[in-house]
Amino acid sequence: MIKFGPSGNSIAFYNAGLSKSEQSPKWVKDMGLNAFEYSFGRGVNMGDDKAISLAPIFKENGVEISVHAPYYINLSNPEEENIEKSFTYLTDSAKKCRLLGGNRVIFHPASQGKMKREAAFELCLQRLNKFAEIIKEQGLTDIIFCPETMGKLAQIGTVEEVSEMCLISENYIPCIDFGHVNAREWGSLKSVDDYLVRLNYMIDKIGYEKMRNFHMHFSKIEYSSKGEVKHLTFEDDHYGPDFTPLAKALKILKLEPVCICESSGTQDVDAVNMQMIYGSVDNL
By the criterion CB under 5 A, which residues form the site for Zn ion?
Answer: 148
DSSP character at residue 140: -
Residue 148 C-beta: closest distance to Zn ion, Å: 5
Residue 40 or 196: the one with the smaller Cβ distance to Zn ion is: 40
Helix axes 48-60, 80-99, angle to 10 degrees: 50
CB atoms within 10 A of CB 23: 15
Nearer to Zn ion, 105 or 281 (CB): 105
Which residues 6+ apart lie within 8 Å of 267 measured at CB? 6, 7, 8, 10, 219, 261
Q: Compare residues 68 and 248 and give the one whose CB is closer to Zn ion.
A: 68
Cβ closest to Zn ion, residue 179 vs residue 245? 179
| Least distance from Zn ion to the Cβ atom of residue 69, Å | 9
Instruction: Report the nearest approach of Zn ion to the CB of residue 210 (Å).
Output: 19
Q: Do the Cβ atoms of 184 and 153 come closer than 8 Å?
A: yes
Query: CA 119 to CA 218: how far, in whole Å?
Result: 29
CA 114 to each of CA 157, 197, 230: distance values in angstroms, whole numbers, following the listed order: 16, 31, 24
Which residues, at least 6 apart from 66, have a Cβ–Cβ distance to it below 8 Å? 35, 36, 37, 38, 97, 102, 104, 105, 106, 215, 258, 260
Residue, CB closest to Zn ion? 148
Nearer to Zn ion among residue 73 and residue 143 (C-beta): 73
| Residues 161 and 205: beta-carbon distance below 8 Å | no
CB of 76 or CB of 248, closer to Zn ion? 76
Of 41, 43, 44, 108, the C-alpha closest to 76 is 108
**Minimum distance, C-beta of residue 272 to Zn ion, in the bound complex (Å):** 21
Q: Provide, rounded to whole angstroms, the least separation between the CB of residue 27 and Zn ion.
A: 22
Among candidate residues 273, 208, 283, the one with its CA nearest the CA of residue 251: 283
**Strand boundaries in 57-188, DSSP class E:** 64-68, 104-107, 110-111, 144-147, 155-156, 175-177
Provide the minimum distance between the beta carbon of 105 and Zn ion in the complex, in angstroms, as a whole number: 11
User: What are the strands, taking DSSP E only, across 94-171?
Assistant: 104-107, 110-111, 144-147, 155-156
Minimum Å gap between C-beta 107 and Zn ion is 8
Q: Which residue, 57 or 181, is less far from Zn ion as judged by CB?
A: 181
